[in-house]
Amino acid sequence: MLTNDEGRCVIVDPGEAAPVLKAIAEHKWMPEAIFLTHHHHDHVGGVKELLQHFPQMTVYGPAETQDKGATHLVGDGDTIRVLGEKFTLFATPGHTLGHVCYFSHPYLFCGDTLFSGGCGRLFEGTPSQMYQSLMKLTLCLTTRSFAALTNTL
């Protein structure tokens, strides 16, 4: 989660609702939005339950996440403003065809495009697509990257 000084937060790729709800309660955060990077269950599994608790949240995600709860579809080059920060979206096909990353210097939420030890597995994309996606992310080398499923709270 990304938080601001006002206690508002953005939830990124909530595979499960329970740990997110626990962190929100412990810190008294108010969730404003959810960022989805792609459609795999370990990234979207908690969305519907979180929306039951916080129906005011906007859920951003690529077209492949529309049936998983995304309310605002985003794609390559789009910009959104959340928590007072401007995020630019990068399409990063490879792990999935519709995978996106959210960038606001110095933060990069990259889902399963990039891990601390390499890139994500190719479920739908090609090696060439993943290579191009990783090259696109080199533009963000001075950022603090948050890969999927590693210290996401």
Q: Retrieve residue 26's tokens.
A: 């412990």
- pLDDT value for 96: 80
DSSP annotation of 41 reads H
DSSP strand pairing (107-111 vs 118-119):
unpaired
- pLDDT value for 95: 78
- 111 close to 43: Cβ distance less than 8 angstroms: yes
Task: Decide if pLDDT at 48 tops 60.
Answer: yes
pTM recorded for the entire structure = 0.85
Assign domain 2-147 one CATH number from 3.30.1360.30, 3.40.50.1000, 3.40.1190.20, 3.60.15.10. Answer: 3.60.15.10
pLDDT in tens, 93-119: 887 888 999 999 888 898 887 766 666
Q: Retrieve residue 129's tokens.
A: 């697509």
> Within 10 Å of residue 126's Cβ, how many Cβ atoms?
12
